[in-house]
């Protein structure tokens, strides 16, 4: 029997009905469902830690939630080649394009090999402290350096490809993948980059320098952001979900990861369809 991992968003009452139906649907097709702890709570069973689910070697990951739930699943399965089918239970849903009504149809299309698969590159980020790697991550969306509760700017220095770019004051910095270009970077006035483009985006957050603008770099270029001055507390956040407090002289190094994420699509919904439907492009 093959395995399917199911990862769900909390506090979604519709999953109380949907999950038993989905588990039965999978069983009828010869698949055993492995549930994360959130999914298991809906059906009153014992679940698995997301971080350990890759050890079951599932053929597919089904995500029931929004983009945040998908980002968590992507990091949990980053070192595998397991495809992810994500059904949108969130609000915007830039990544979770498959409507809940099409989840069974999309699964059948995946089994038949008739669905499309998007290959999304990830970013490898390292926090250097005292001359060595203190912590490292692989992110699908972005890494963000931002200040804490006190409204004071920090001082940062940035290098791209070993070349000094600038030293400046700002509320923070965002380094995003093309996938993450429609997340926090977009809200900070960054560009929208199509997922197939091999690039990364460096976006300042409210810089105290009117001429400083977002920069699009080749994905194989290393980006280094140095913390020159700290305003109260400053944090490095990965995909909006994992955070570590930064110290003076810390460095954040970002480059393209060796891993990627495979997202299953039923049809060619596409980025621009999402922009039209979610951000109301073209409406008056």
Tens-binned pLDDT, residue by residue, of the chain (284 aa): 799 999 999 999 999 999 999 999 999 999 999 999 999 999 999 999 999 999 999 999 999 998 899 999 999 999 999 999 999 886 666 777 788 888 999 999 999 998 888 899 999 999 999 999 999 999 999 999 998 766 678 899 999 999 999 999 999 999 999 999 999 999 999 999 998 899 999 999 999 888 889 999 999 999 999 999 876 789 999 999 999 999 999 999 999 999 999 999 866 556 777 777 667 777 77
Contact 118, 216 (CB under 8 A): no
Name the pairing type of β-strands 60-65 and 84-88. Answer: parallel
Contact 88, 66 (CB under 8 A): yes
Q: How far apart are CA 140 and CA 239, in angstroms?
A: 7
Per DSSP, helices labelled H in the chain are 15-28, 37-42, 67-76, 103-112, 184-187, 270-278
Three-state DSSP class for 153? coil
pLDDT value at position 91? 65
Distances in Å between the Cα of 99 and the Cα atoms of 1, 65, 93, 266 are 27, 11, 10, 10
Q: What are phi and psi of 278, to 5 degrees?
A: -90, -40
Closest by Cα among 127, 187, 199, 193 to 160: 199
pLDDT value at position 231? 63
Q: Which residues are catalytic?
A: 67
DSSP state of 36: B
pLDDT value at position 278? 67
Q: How far apart are CA 78 and CA 70, in angstroms?
A: 12
pLDDT digits (tens, 9 = 90+) for 14-48: 999 999 999 999 999 999 999 999 999 999 999 99
pLDDT value at position 154? 87
pLDDT value at position 95? 78
Which two tokens mark 265? 């699509």
Query: Which pTM does this prediction carry?
Result: 0.89
b/e map of 172-185 (b: 16 or more CB within 10 Å)? bbbbbbbbbbbbbb
Residue given tokens 């099409």 in the structure block: 102
List, edge to edge, every strand of the sheet that includes 199-205.
Answer: 215-218, 199-205, 172-176, 142-147, 234-238, 242-245
Which two tokens mark 256? 């393209």
pLDDT value at position 152? 77
Q: How far apart are CA 185 and CA 201, in angstroms?
A: 8
> Can you name the residues that pair with 36 across neighbouring β-strands?
48
> Can you name the residues that pair with 159 across neighbouring β-strands?
164, 224
pLDDT value at position 261? 94
pLDDT value at position 266? 64
């Amino acid at each position: 029997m093959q395995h399917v991992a199911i990862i769900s968003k909390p506090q979604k009452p519709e999953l109380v009905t949907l999950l038993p139906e989905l588990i039965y649907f999978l069983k009828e097709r010869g698949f055993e469902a492995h549930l994360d702890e959130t999914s298991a709570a809906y059906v009153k069973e014992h679940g698995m830690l997301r971080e350990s689910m890759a050890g079951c070697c599932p053929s597919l990951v089904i995500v029931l939630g929004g983009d945040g739930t998908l980002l968590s699943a992507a990091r949990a399965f980053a070192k595998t080649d397991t495809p992810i089918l994500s059904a949108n239970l969130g609000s915007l849903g830039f990544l979770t394009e498959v409507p809940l009504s099409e989840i069974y149809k999309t699964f059948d299309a995946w089994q038949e090999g008739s669905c499309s698969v998007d290959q999304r590159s990830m970013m490898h980020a390292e926090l250097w402290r005292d001359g060595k790697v203190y912590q490292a991550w692989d992110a699908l969306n972005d890494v963000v350096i931002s200040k804490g509760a006190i409204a004071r700017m920090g001082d940062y220095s940035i290098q791209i490809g070993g070349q000094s770019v600038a030293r400046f004051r700002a509320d923070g910095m965002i380094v995003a993948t093309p996938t993450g270009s429609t997340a926090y970077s977009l809200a900070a006035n960054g560009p929208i980059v199509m997922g197939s483009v091999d690039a990364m985006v460096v976006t300042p957050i409210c810089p105290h320098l009117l001429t400083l603008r977002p920069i699009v770099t080749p994905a194989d270029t290393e980006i280094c952001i140095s913390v020159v001055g700290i305003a109260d507390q400053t944090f490095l956040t990965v995909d909006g979900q994992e955070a570590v407090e930064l110290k003076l002289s810390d460095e954040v190094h970002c480059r393209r990861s060796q891993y990627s994420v495979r997202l299953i699509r039923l049809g060619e919904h596409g980025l621009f369809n999402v922009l039209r439907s979610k951000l109301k492009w073209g409406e008056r």
